[in-house]
Chain A
């Protein structure tokens, strides 16, 4: 994003190389424009850029008065609150490093991160987080002060250790009047290659690692994406995802400070939907599950609507399904009749629906973090919502690939973002290089070295390939990708996702590495299949019973067949069609160590635990008796016994790669 030519004091992209400098610049250039909003006691409160800059100054000076020095770290913990965002800027003014933590972590996890990052100060939201900090001081005495943002219930706490943010800001204002030049000098000392933030990885594999990002990396990523999508200071964004997550830092902090758009903080995590309708953001980010929940809500409410409305909805949704996504992409081949019908549908159905979802003003919506189902993706696009995917990781500022407007493919994550180079390694791993790369893992030089190759490429750990138009397609984690005995590539996660996109299938586990064909375990979605069974008058006593019904097997077989038809179209993955499957007699459960806490399947563990079932899949028997030990939530153990059936799915002969004619 290039700056408008007449910047005060001759500022350019090169001189505005840190976030505090950007903030001061906004206060001068668009001082009266709204920078932040927060809903408090039911009313939206707003702060202009010059007010934000004042508040940040007071907070920074307050921290300085508290003894915060260049290089010190401030932990930031809580829901998305303007004052917590000010904390980032305030620390960066002083040359310190903010370390946001996930607010729902337990004290032990927080203690680890605080210790690992050598944090001395913490800025937290409320009593809940303050209590955690107090608990942590026993194992981590280096924590010197806690600043809280919401004073409820904290009046009687030790005010030497805990400080109310407004008290600190008052001290800061006093400090500023005594040392009027101090802060400006500190800000001027900041350089683009200083570390601007340490974001911790979620730690699904091993202990969390602190990813050190520079101002330069985040500013470049924000400028690149702003340019790519034409973001400007009239845009408006809802800040509701965890502040410790790289996506929120890019969207709600870096991009806001680069472009000067407004961020809006919802009242609470439960009110996000209502708040979104009131604000009507123009720019939006959500992980796939949010889009999925919204769709479910719409569908459930439509079932309660009157017959006329329902018929209208169904009719126009058919129209949208047929041509909506094409019209949005600017495809010229849509017939005039369909265009007219779509216009009509827009008036009667899509427009009001967008309004209910709070997406009326939406120009650009992004999703990332997990694979999104093609039907789900198409649904939103066909409503005229410009939903796109992006690809990135904490180490790359969540900025590697973006889908360009008008050229969105359902199963790729788009083209390399501006200034990003992509290379596919021989083992299929995606390698990236560009200004947005992280500096290092905090205090872990070996880990840092491991993820960088000699040419300065970052090893993403994801396997994928570039298609003929240069769009990147991610198929799986590189370490999970295996080979069938025929030598064809086997990406279990890709197959599992294909299956999981069917609402009736909750989990799937695909096997195939070093085997002659792909087979799968399937967990049905109790809610969805239960509902289906209820409508058909099929009685069942519980999961195990329902999962063993032949009718349910037929239902799932249909899904597997459909997935196979999709897979055969993809020349790279056509041999990954599922040949045989069984429906597991119990739901995979983190309590039984079959899933991680973030609900990812632990494939190796499962294949060992259900060794007998895997062997049965690769034999030619159709039925097997099995018994499994389960753990209940209270720690008791029990045994589930069941007779499982194994079914063959329809597979299609893969033709040798067709020549493009």
Chain B
């Protein structure tokens, strides 16, 4: 295994608390994400993992705590700001355009990068034409990277689940993100599909230096590919550290395996 250059902290979350009414979803969570690392968030059902991800990309606004992204502190970040800052994500439940082809779905990920007006795009004229060709090239590179050439023109709704997940990853990649948030990318997959997906996550991290924040249930996968892991349980932060540290943490063992009272 070769060394990856893990850089300075680019995303720092301090004392984040989030409630919906009386329901405390996140309670005083603090962790940071370093450049080019694979950072995992794990925890049992309802631990607050997806909420955490939603906080990071600005869907939810925490009542307490602060988020600093590349040194800039902000209490609230709007969704489109997050995208503009280079944060892209995939969803636990696939959120693709079912009737559109793989190619078009990934193309939508380029939306933010398109500069020409909607009108010139519509008539495919001048700058828009050049731009479209450039974007198409980029999308084709992603298709090549994820090895989905065979389904380029297939409507996404007709694809098997594992493939849809891969297309969704492709769309997130199309935004050329600095941080990629993956919400259970391997849920519902068989062993082979999981292995493929793990390989792609590692490759993305390796090839583009993309920082990855991963939520995953499969402990084997998490422990294999993560640089650092943070463990949540009912909104509390149980542990934070390298896979080895987390694996041997008594609180984590209790939460996962149960504890006799």
Contacts and interface: CB of A to CB of B under 8 A. Distances in A.
Contacts of A42: 136, 140, 143, 149, 152
Interface string B152-164: 1100000000000
A271 interface: yes
B150 A274 contact: yes
Interface in A152-191: 152-153, 156
Nearest to A268: B149
Contacts of A270: 149-150
B147 interface: yes
A271 B150 contact: yes
A613 to B, nearest CB: 36
B140 A41 contact: yes
A174 B12 CA distance: 51
Interface in A212-270: 267-268, 270
Nearest to B152: A42
B150 A268 contact: yes
Nearest to B145: A152
Contacts of B145: 152
Contacts of B147: 268
Contacts of B143: 41-42
B93 to A, nearest CB: 27
Chain B CB within 10 Å, residue with most, of A40, A42, A152, A271: A42
A41 B141 CA distance: 6
B135 to A, nearest CB: 13
Contacts of A274: 150, 153
A271 B149 contact: yes
Nearest to A270: B150
A358 B257 CA distance: 57
Contacts of A267: 149
Interface residues of B, number: 16
Contact of B203 (A41, A153, A268, A271): A153
Contact of A41 (B144, B150, B153, B206): B144
A271 to B, nearest CB: 5
Contacts of A152: 145, 203, 207
Size bracket, chain A contacts = 10 to 19
Contacts of A156: 2
Interface string A414-439: 00000000000000000000000000
A268 B153 CA distance: 15
A42 B2 CA distance: 32
A152 B141 CA distance: 11
Contacts of A43: 140
A153 B144 CA distance: 13
A268 B146 CA distance: 12
B137 interface: yes
Nearest to A266: B149
Contacts of B137: 41
B148 to A, nearest CB: 9
Contacts of B140: 41-43
B210 to A, nearest CB: 14
Nearest to A152: B207
Interface of B, secondary structure class, is: helix
A68 B232 CA distance: 58
A76 to B, nearest CB: 22
Interface string B117-150: 0000000000000000000110011011101011
B130 to A, nearest CB: 16
A525 B202 CA distance: 40
A268 B143 CA distance: 12
B105 to A, nearest CB: 15
Interface in A385-444: none
A267 B153 CA distance: 14
Nearest to A275: B149
Contacts of A153: 203, 206-207
A173 to B, nearest CB: 27
A153 B153 CA distance: 27
A41 B150 CA distance: 12
Nearest to A274: B150
Nearest to A150: B144
A177 to B, nearest CB: 33
Nearest to B202: A153
Interface in B150-189: 150, 152-153
A267 B148 CA distance: 10
A117 to B, nearest CB: 30
Contacts of B144: 40-41
B81 to A, nearest CB: 32
A42 B153 CA distance: 11
Contacts of A271: 149-150
Interface string B45-60: 0000000000000000
B18 to A, nearest CB: 38
A243 to B, nearest CB: 19
A130 to B, nearest CB: 13
Interface in A3-50: 40-43
A339 B149 CA distance: 42
B160 to A, nearest CB: 13
A274 B149 CA distance: 10
Contacts of B136: 42
A270 B153 CA distance: 13
A272 to B, nearest CB: 9
B5 to A, nearest CB: 10
A88 B144 CA distance: 26
B189 to A, nearest CB: 19
B183 to A, nearest CB: 25
Between A41, A152, A267, the greatest number of chain B beta carbons within 10 A of the residue's beta carbon is seen for: A41
B162 to A, nearest CB: 14
Interface string A366-377: 000000000000
A153 B207 CA distance: 6
A237 to B, nearest CB: 21
Nearest to A42: B140
A152 B146 CA distance: 12
B145 to A, nearest CB: 7
Contacts of A41: 137, 140-141, 143-144
Nearest to B103: A42
A152 B203 CA distance: 9
A289 B150 CA distance: 20
A172 B150 CA distance: 35
B147 to A, nearest CB: 7
A268 B152 CA distance: 12
A12 B136 CA distance: 48
A432 to B, nearest CB: 40
A268 B144 CA distance: 9
Contacts of B2: 156
A577 B207 CA distance: 62
Nearest to B151: A270
A49 B140 CA distance: 27
A40 B145 CA distance: 12
A271 B152 CA distance: 10
A267 B141 CA distance: 13
A152 B147 CA distance: 12
A115 to B, nearest CB: 27
Interface string A133-164: 00000000000000000001100100000000
A239 B203 CA distance: 29
A153 B2 CA distance: 11
Interface in A349-372: none
A267 B152 CA distance: 12
Interface string B201-219: 0010011000000000000
26 contacts: A40-B144, A41-B137, A41-B140, A41-B141, A41-B143, A41-B144, A42-B136, A42-B140, A42-B143, A42-B149, A42-B152, A43-B140, A152-B203, A152-B207, A153-B203, A153-B206, A153-B207, A156-B2, A267-B149, A268-B147, A268-B150, A270-B149, A271-B149, A271-B150, A274-B150, A274-B153
Given A41-B141, A42-B149, A152-B203, 4 more contacts: A41-B137, A153-B206, A268-B150, A274-B153
Which 5 pairs across A and B sit closest by C-beta, in order of nearness? Answer: A270-B150, A41-B140, A42-B140, A267-B149, A271-B150
